[in-house]
Each structure stands twice: as structure tokens, then as C-alpha cells.
A and B are shown apart, each in its own frame.
Chain A
Amino acid sequence: MESFTGLLNGFIFLVSPNNLIALVAGVFLGTVVGVLPGLGPIGAMAILLPISFQMEATAALILMAGIFYGAQYGGSTTSILMNIPGESTSVVTTIEGYQMTKRGRAGAALAVSAVGSFIAGTIAVVLLMVFAPILGQFALRFGAPEYFALTAFGLMVLSRLTGGGLAVAFMLVGIGLALRTVGQEMMHSTARFSFGSIDLWQGLELTPVVVGLFGIAEVLIAAEEKESAPQITSVRLRELLPTRREWRRSIGPILRGTAVGFPFGLIPGPAAILSTFASYALEKRVSKHPEEFGKGAIEGVAGPESANNAAAGGTLVPLLSLGVPFAPPTALLLGAFIIHGVQPGPLLLREHPQVFWGLVASMYAGNVMLLVLNLPMVGLFVSILRLPRDLLLAFIVLISVVGVYSVNNSVFDLIVMLVMSLVGYAMRKFRLSPATLVLPLVIGTLMEESLIRTLMLARGEMGYLLTRPIALCLLLIGAASLIAPAAWRGFCQRKTKREQGAAR
């Protein structure tokens, strides 16, 4: 009943011009960046983060969240029509989606993908509404030791995103934390690593760092490649209706994709991508027509496209209830929350109910808008790909520099952005994940403060952490997430050796 009242209030709050404009802009831009190969939701969120400063906190967060889940919808369009995944989460969709296009069923694939995304996205919001307050209630017991353990847990689990080894992950975490320590320290009011500069004394702002790392760095990567004219298949509105048989074959995969995707969102890591592969494998296994897979099986579009949307909803649960992001886009969303003076976590529902319920209500409305936008306007979104690339990139750079400048009217922020764009470019060249650098930058202050408070509480006894069950559990799970992949690899290697030995 409480949730229902909260949701109702969320809808009342949503129906204000500012929030509605933010929602429409968010889902529209999300679809656009989903369609555009190369520019992902993280880049778009980073570029628009400074612009959102001019907005009220809830409207800004509605805009950011809209870009995040809107991109999941848009990503399928180029996968189906051009065999180019607009988003990393739509890689699997290219397998069956493009084959359907070659068979003249592009419209059906797009329609099933949009409807599947809508159903999965809506169910995920219902589950988010149920689970986030429960987890948040539990997290109300947290004190300084638990918050330190939670931030350490967040860093340990998200550091696995680098794709490299543990050492690489901890190097990036260390660099992120080091960047966070620049400027005045709050507990003792000491200026650290400021070298007498007033700009550095104030610390590094998150906005120029993320715009540089994700926005401009993406432009640099795109610019160094020679452009080629895309081959685009056009789709007419009347071709968007799947046949009755196609609908029948899609309902099961949509529901299974949702069931697979949401729990994946609760697991730290690249949840949405993994969920699409898991869903595709599941559909192939349970299908009555496995021979059609690879030749345009509609189940291979419906399942993964539903899974990635459900996973996107799932990733918001730990962010909203614990204040810890489990995926790179939610790390950026956390940054947006903090910049707007809202701390997500157990107290979010109590201290900022309008933000939580406004966001949930916006996701319901956003899913409907995305369905309405994506089907009839598919031609418009595809035509974005025909925009001259030089103008598009120039426009992105201009928006980014103005956005960064506008936060503090600071030229220093622009210099930081320029330096971080080169860092982001170099990181991509060395196959390092910039997302691993951002999380410590976002939660570094909380980590330091909770560590200092814990040590003071414990009078320097590190064993104190072991007497706090929640903190201990979080640290153990975090440590297990670090060791588990290596342990699993070792187990598999031993098993293979044993099997080879037995075969001989």
C-alpha cells in the first residue's frame, strides 16, 4: 500500500512540465545514442551531465536515467537493419535480427524487439519498486564500518569490469582514489596535492573528468577512423506488424528474457551484455526450431532484447538501495545523484521520496514513450545515421566544452577535461576500462571518511570490522568476487587435465 501511494505521488510529481520535458528528452536522446554506433549511453550521460546542472535534481536524474534505458531500446535498430550493434548490449541481436532483415522481416524484428523491451522494462520497474525499498530498509542498519565495507565491496566487485587481471583493476582503482584525494580534505581541513593552486585546492570536479574520459575520448576514437557510408535498409510503417505466428513464438522468449535479465542486473559486472548472451543460449536450447537459429529465428531477437532491458532495471536496485553502482552506467548515474546533492542509498526513500518515486514513475512512463517513439519513428532514428559525421562530432565537442565550462564558469575545468580526454583515449588504446577509474572517483570521499571514522571508533583495532557481521559479509563477498574467477579457471584447468589423463 505504501509503495502504491509512493508511486501515485511519483506520477503526480512527474506531471510537471520540467519533469515531462526531461523524460521526453532523455528517452529520445537515449534512443538516438543507442542507434549511433560508437556513442554509448555513458558518453551521452557524461556530455549531458553539466547541462543537467541547470535543471532541478529530479528532472536531471529523470533525464539521465531516460538516456540509460532508452539506449537499450535504440541499440537494436542498427543491429537489426545494418548488422552493426548500436550498443554493446545489442551484439547478440545482430545474429538473428540481421538475418531477419535479409529475409525481408526487418519490420517484425524491430516490432518484437520494441514490444519485448517494453514488457521487460515495465516488469523490471515493478521488481525495482519491490526490491529497492526492502534492501534499503536493511541498509538502514549501516554505520561507518558498514559503509567502508560497502565502498570497498563496490570497488572490489566493479574492478572486475576491466577485463584485465586483478593488478590492472587495482591500478585503476588506485589512480581513481588518488585523483579523489586532490584538494581540501574535510576531516582535518588540510589541502592535499594542490601545489598552491586555488583550482586544485577545490578538488577535481567529477564533470570534466567524466566528459573527458567518456565524451571527448569517444570522439577522438571515432575521428581517427576513416568514415564509410552506411548501407541502411528502409522500413515502412505497415511492415512493422509481425504475423500471428511470430507473436506466438515471441511471447515465451520475452518472458524468459525478463526472468534472466533482472537477476543479472543485481550481479556486479557488465550485466546487460551477459544477460543477452545467457538469454540467447537459453532460447536456442528450449526452442522447438533450433535449426532456424543463425538463419533469422525471432526468438533470438525477442529474448536478448528483453533481457538487456530487464537487466538495466535490475542494475538500479543496488544503486538506489545501497548507493553502490554495480555497472558503469550506474556509476555515472551515481555521480549525477551526488552532483545534484542527493545521496542514493538506504536513506533515499526517507530523505528524498520525490526523487525515488519520481524516478520510478518516470521509468513506467518512459517505457511507454519508448514504445510509441521507437515503432513509428524508426525511419527518423535510422536517418540519424545519414547525418554527416564531421558535423555530428563537432557538435558533440561543442556541447561538451560548453557544458563543462558552465558548471563553475571555469577554464581550469576545461583543461582538466582536455587532459582526461587524452587519458581516456590512451586507456582505450591500452584496452583499459575508464569506468573502473570513475567509481573510485565517485565514492572515494565516502570511503575515506568511513574508514577514518571506523578506525577512530575501533581505536585503531582493525579486528573491529570482523565483529560487525554486515561489514564482514560484504568484505568476504567482495574478496570472493576477486578470487572466484581465478579459482574457477584453476578448477576447470584441473578438470580438463584429469579428463585428458583418464582418456589416455
Chain B
Amino acid sequence: MPGGVSGSIVVPLFVLVVGLLYMIGAVSYEVGTLASPKAGFFPAFVGILLLVAGGFRLYEEISRPSPGPEPLGPAWWRVPAICASIGVFIYLLKPAGYLFAATVLTALLIFFLGRRPRWAIVGIALATAAVSYYFFNLLGVPLPPGPLPF
């Protein structure tokens, strides 16, 4: 993109903002001296690194813009859908238990990722949740039972 800036400029700007906030946080702890460094010393060092690297990258991006981010894939909507499905799982896990949360997660993922009849989605999700529950129990992984007695 000659003469302009590409979408990649977001990255150094983001790093600069994070670096600035981080630096403010770092100096709120005691930094100490070189001979007697305190808890804020290393974060201050990291904050300087972030600001210098971010600033330099911003300068590079303005003077020589990079090609910009890769375009979204044709089924890009699946990305937020999968994240939302995981979010639902996280929300349900403790109150509703693993079996229910895993069934919902698997059903949502198969629904978003493929084209199967609804009865198949429910069947596969139930079977996957039950088998995985049994398998993880065998491995000794403690999973929340929720309202179920087992």
C-alpha cells in the first residue's frame, strides 16, 4: 500500500497503548535502584522494551507499510461462533455440570462446523459428552457433576 498505512499499524499502536498502561502500572510499584532493585524494577525494564519496540515498529510501519493482515476466510463467522460456544461451556460448566455443558458445546460446534441433521447432532453430542466423561473419569480428571448425582 504505497503512500498510505496498512491495517498492520494496529499492532504497534496496540503495543504502545499496552506498553504505556503497563509502564504506569510498573512505576506504581517500588522500582528501587540498580544496586537494590525492587518489585517494580523488572516490569519497568519490560515497559521500556515495549515502548521502544512499539515506537520503532510504528515508525517502520509509517515509513514502509507492510502488506497488512491476511484476509478473513470464507467461513469467518465460524470464529466468533466457536468462541461463543466455548463461552457458553464456561458459563454452564460449574452450575450445570460437565455432561450438560459438554453436550451443549459439542452440539453447537458440530452445528456451526458441518451440515448434519438435528437428530444426528444431538445424538453425536450426547454420545461424545458421555464417552468423554467416562474417559476423563478413568484418567482421574475431576469434572463438575452439576445437579446430577454421579
Contacts and interface: CB of A to CB of B under 8 A. Distances in A.
A429 B79 CA distance: 13
B18 A178 contact: yes
B109 to A, nearest CB: 4
Interface residues of A, number: 64
B79 A425 contact: yes
Q: How would you classify the secondary structure of chain B's contact residues: helix, strand, loop or mixed?
A: helix
B82 A223 contact: yes
Contact of B132 (A188, A398, A452): A398
Interface in B50-105: 50, 52-54, 56-57, 60, 69-70, 72-76, 78-79, 82-83, 85-87, 89-90, 93-94, 98, 102, 105
Contacts of A226: 73-75
A168 B29 CA distance: 28
27 contacts: A167-B56, A167-B60, A171-B53, A173-B49, A174-B15, A174-B49, A174-B54, A177-B46, A188-B38, A190-B29, A192-B39, A192-B40, A193-B22, A216-B82, A220-B78, A220-B82, A223-B113, A224-B75, A390-B114, A393-B109, A394-B106, A405-B143, A406-B136, A421-B83, A428-B70, A430-B8, A451-B42
Contact of A171 (B12, B36, B105): B12
A45 B67 CA distance: 32
Contacts of B143: 402, 405-406
A431 interface: yes
A201 to B, nearest CB: 13
Interface of B: 8, 10-12, 15, 18-19, 22, 25, 29-30, 33-43, 45-47, 49-50, 52-54, 56-57, 60, 69-70, 72-76, 78-79, 82-83, 85-87, 89-90, 93-94, 98, 102, 105-106, 109-110, 112-114, 116, 124, 128, 132, 136, 139-144
Contacts of B18: 175, 178
Contacts, number: 192
B86 A171 contact: no
Contact of B43 (A178, A418, A452): A178
Contacts of B124: 391
A119 B36 CA distance: 54
A340 to B, nearest CB: 16
Contacts of A246: none
Question: Across chains A and B, which 3 residue pairs bring their CB atoms closest together, nearest first?
Answer: A390-B114, A460-B35, A224-B73
B60 A394 contact: no
A390 B49 CA distance: 42
A459 B11 CA distance: 38
A248 B133 CA distance: 52
A174 B51 CA distance: 9
Interface string A404-420: 01100101001100100
Nearest to B105: A398
A432 B85 CA distance: 26
A418 B83 contact: yes
B42 A397 contact: no
A394 B82 CA distance: 9
Contacts of B75: 223-226
A168 B60 CA distance: 10
B9 to A, nearest CB: 10
A136 B98 CA distance: 46
Interface of A: 51, 54, 165-168, 170-171, 173-175, 177-178, 181, 185, 187-188, 190, 192-193, 216, 219-221, 223-226, 388-391, 393-395, 397-399, 401-402, 405-406, 409, 411, 414-415, 418, 421-422, 425, 428-432, 448, 451-452, 455-456, 459-462
A224 B79 contact: yes
Contacts of B85: 397
A425 B69 CA distance: 11
Contacts of A460: 33-36
Contacts of B52: 170
A168 B72 contact: no
Given A428-B70, A430-B11, A401 B110 contact: no
A225 B102 CA distance: 25
Contacts of A401: 86, 89-90, 105
B11 A432 contact: yes
Contacts of A166: 56
Given A54-B139, A398-B106, A224 B76 contact: yes
Contacts of A399: 132
A414 B93 contact: yes
